[in-house]
Amino acid sequence: MGSIISAIGTAAPVNRFSQEEILKFMVRAHQLNPTDSQRLEKLYNLSGIDYRHSVIPDFGSSKGDYNFFGNGENLEPFPKTQERSALYESTAKHLAAEAIKNIKYGGNSLPAITHLITVSCTGMYAPGLDIDIIELLGLNKSIERTCINFMGCYGAFNALKTADYICRADQTAKVLVVDIELCTLHFQRESCLENWVANSLFADGAAAVLIESELHRSTQTGFRLKTFFNTLVTEAKDEMAWRIGDTGFQMHLSSHIAKNIGKKIKEVTASLIEKSGLSRASISHLAIHPGGRRILEVCEDMLELPEEALQHSYDVLKQYGNMSSATILFVLQKLLSETQPGDNIMSFAFGPGLTFESMILETI
């Protein structure tokens, strides 16, 4: 017997900003002239995003009222990595706990958790997020803990695979995956196209997932974890990078990322389908990580999808932006409440490497 996703909970910080508000902040922060302001506005208008959330309130404030960034010239004093990490440590655990509490589990409290897997690429500390969650929620201190860090937007796939392995090895296991990303902590003020793009997309959010053996499941609905497939395009490995700098984590995003995803997505799809033993016609739904509007459009084109096929991915992008690895779990939460038993869902995420992660789920 395999394992299933029994329930998913999500949470976002209380600070919710429209793209228009964030655009105004970015024009000031990057100190843009009128011509570049218009260019940035066009980028924001084409982002496919209406709202984003952040643990930092400053993105909706005026200069002089900032709490995290400096109120001096050029946002001085500009927060260093240590200050950003301190804010991650003080806020991530509470947002993670909120996502766990938002898990809808048939109206009942969660079962006794045996394994905890935490996922994040936007902050690390020790004693870490896993221990803070155990303390905050009063979980068993003997829970087995695994931390998946710094893998980028595909990190949730590795957590689900790990949970699947655990449940297959121990059919009594109850695995809680907690994915928390605070991307906006790492805002960079230098005016360049890479920063313009990154600052127009990324946001904060958290998701929590309960995985258990199908044999000992305690819910009537869920997603069966059927097949996983991953691969690398190492010739494109330098097109997406995420490194620790003096002023937070620094993102490198090439303009060729979407094109390279488009070149490979058909091949990855074929390999995943072949491994699953299914046919392409048996796939009812798709859940693609909305790394950006262009990535979704390329996948639509190359996979010859109807306009509505990626609606949930577009909706999450529109309402939340790109929350790195947590984002795909927001998409899956929407599908969990709408798909019918027997429906097969094909899902993808992409990240540094250039890494392709994919899986097929079946609604039960």
The predicted structure's pLDDT at residue 216: 86
Strands 240-245 and 223-232, how do they pair?
unpaired
Provide the pLDDT confidence category of residue 107 given band limits of 50, 70 and 90: low
Q: Examine the pLDDT at 3 and tell me if it is beyond 80.
A: yes
C-alpha 129: how far from its chain's center? 17
Residue 312 lies in a domain: yes
Q: What is the pLDDT of residue 199?
A: 95
| pLDDT on residue 97 | 97
> DSSP class of residue 322?
B
| Count: domains in the chain | 1
* Residues 66/54, Cβ–Cβ less than 8 Å: no
Is residue 221 scored above 90 in pLDDT? Answer: no
Each residue's pLDDT tens digit, 237-267: 888 999 999 999 999 888 889 999 999 999 9
Task: Indicate the residue type of 85.
Answer: S
CATH code, 356: 3.40.47.10
> For residue 85, is it within any domain?
no
Nearest CA to 11 out of 120, 80, 79, 97 is that of 97
What is the token pair recorded at 252? 């490198």
Q: Is residue 11's pLDDT more than 80?
A: yes
**What pLDDT is stored for residue 217 in this prediction?**
85
13 part of a folded domain: no
Mean pLDDT of the chain: 95
What is the pLDDT, as a whole number, of residue 166? 98
* pLDDT, tens only, 135-161: 999 999 999 999 999 999 999 999 999
Predicted confidence at residue 300, as pLDDT, reads 97
Q: Is residue 255 part of a domain?
A: yes
Residue 269 has pLDDT above 90, yes or no: yes
pLDDT for 212 equals 96
Average pLDDT over every residue of 275-295: 97
- Tell me how crowded residue 235 is: count the other CB atoms within 10 A of its CB: 9
Residue 329's domain comprises 223-363
Question: Which residues are CB-neighbours of 331 under 8 A, at least 6 positions away?
Answer: 287, 288, 289, 290, 312, 313, 316, 347
Residue 93 placed within a domain: no
59-77 pLDDT, tens digit per residue, is 999 989 999 999 999 999 9
Query: Which of helix, strand or coil describes residue 226?
Result: strand
Look at residue 219 in the predicted model and tell me its pLDDT: 82
The answer on pLDDT for 345 being more than 90 is yes
Answer yes or no: is 148 within a domain: no
Helix (H) or strand (E) holding 189: none
pLDDT higher than 90, residue 44: yes
Q: Does residue 217 form part of some domain?
A: no
- Per-residue pLDDT tens over the stretch 85-103: 999 999 999 999 999 999 9
**pLDDT above 90 coverage of the chain, percent:** 91
Please tell me the distance from the alpha carbon of residue 355 to that of residue 151, in angstroms, as a whole number. 10
So what's the pLDDT on residue 191? 94
Q: CB neighbours (10 Å) of residue 156?
A: 28
More confident residue, 255 or 16: 16
User: What is the DSSP track for 276-296?
Assistant: HT--GGGEEEEEE--S-HHHH
Residue 358, domain member (yes or no) = yes
> What is the pLDDT, as a whole number, of residue 104?
82
- The phi and psi torsions of 327 (rounded to 5 degrees) equal -65, -45
The b/e string for 41-73 (b: 16+ C-beta within 10 A; e otherwise) is: bebbeebbbebbbbbbebbbbeeeebebbeeee
In the block, tokens 């992409």 appear at: 350
Q: What angle do CA 310, 280, 296 make, to 5 degrees?
A: 25
H or E element: which one contains 191?
A: none
Whole-prediction pTM: 0.96
